[in-house]
Amino acid sequence: MTIQWKGVMPAVTTQFTADDVLDLDMFKVNIKAQLDAGIHGIVLGGTLGEASTLTDSELRLLTRETVAFVEGKVPVVMNIAEQTTKAAINLAKAAEEDGASGLMMLPPMRYKASDDEVVAYFKSVAHSTRLPIMIYNNPIDYKIEVTLDMFEDLLKACPNIQAVKESTRDTTNITRLRNRFGDRLAIMTGVDTLALESLLIGADGWVAGLVDAFPAETVAIYELQKAGKIKEALKIYRWFMPLLELDINPKLVQYIKLAAVHTGIGSEYVRAPRLILRGEERSHVEKIITDALASRPQLPAYKNEIG
Distances (CA, A) of 95 to 54, 129, 163: 15, 10, 18
Q: Would you state the pLDDT for residue 111?
A: 83
Burial 59-87, CB ≥16 within 10 A → b, else e: bbebbebbbebbeeebbbbbbbbbeebee
Q: How far apart are CA 226 and CA 110, in angstroms?
A: 38
pTM of the model: 0.96
The torsion angles phi and psi of 60, rounded to 5 degrees, stand at -70, -40
Structural contact between residues 45 and 54, judged by C-beta atoms closer than 8 angstroms: yes
Q: Is the dihedral of CA 28, 34, 35, 39 positive or negative?
A: negative
246-296 pLDDT, tens digit per residue, is: 999 999 999 999 999 999 999 999 999 999 999 999 999 999 999 999 999
169-217 pLDDT, tens digit per residue, is: 999 999 999 999 999 999 999 999 999 999 999 999 999 999 999 999 9
pLDDT-derived band at 307, boundaries 50, 70, 90: very low
Q: How far apart are CA 271 and CA 18, in angstroms?
A: 10
- Nearest of 53, 145, 131 to residue 93 by alpha carbon: 131
- Strand-pairing partners, residue 205, are 7, 188
Query: Taking 80 as the threshold, does the pLDDT of residue 123 lie above it?
Result: yes
Assigned fold of 7-294: TIM Barrel (3.20.20)
Q: How far apart are CA 9 and CA 34, in angstroms?
A: 9
54-81 pLDDT, tens digit per residue, is: 999 999 999 999 999 999 999 999 999 9
Give residue 155's Cα distance to chain centre.
22
The torsion angles phi and psi of 246, rounded to 5 degrees, stand at -65, -20
- Nearest of 111, 91, 112 to residue 103 by alpha carbon: 91
